[in-house]
């Protein structure tokens, strides 16, 4: 079941990215969320690296939501800022903090 969710979240990320580029920029929010889920499920090996992609999607989503991205160079700046924030997070925080929403969800289910 976890393998199915893993593949499904990756495929949905690809679909949401294509839709965001082609049509509606709000799809970046969902692409970031599905990449976050993919990153959590891949956390035993490449999760930290794939988390950077989720940060990039969320930076683009924020930029388009605030109507700050108007040129191609603005996209590059948003992605660079996202990667700097991601790098600072990876260097300073423990893995448990990276995926805190899943920890809270697990804690709520166990009660």
Q: What pLDDT sits at residue 44?
A: 80
Contacts of residue 38, defined as CB under 8 A and 6 or more positions apart, other chains included, come to 6, 9, 10, 13, 50
Contacts of residue 107, defined as CB under 8 A and 6 or more positions apart, other chains included, come to none
Q: What pLDDT sits at residue 72?
A: 94
Q: What is the pLDDT along the chain (111 residues), one digit of tens a residue?
A: 888 999 999 999 999 999 999 989 999 999 999 999 999 988 888 888 999 999 999 999 999 999 999 999 999 999 999 999 999 999 999 888 888 888 887 777 777
Q: What pLDDT sits at residue 75?
A: 96
């Amino acid at each position: 079941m976890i393998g199915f969710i893993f593949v499904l979240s990756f495929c949905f990320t690809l679909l949401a990215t294509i839709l965001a580029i082609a049509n509606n920029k709000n799809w970046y929010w969902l692409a970031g969320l599905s990449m976050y889920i993919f990153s959590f499920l891949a956390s035993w090996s490449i999760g930290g690296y794939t988390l950077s992609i989720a940060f990039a999607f969320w930076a683009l989503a924020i930029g388009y939501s605030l109507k700050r991205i108007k040129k191609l160079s603005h996209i590059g700046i948003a992605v660079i800022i996202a990667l700097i924030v991601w790098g600072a997070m990876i260097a300073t925080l423990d893995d448990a903090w990276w995926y805190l929403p899943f920890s809270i969800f697990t804690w709520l289910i166990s009660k």
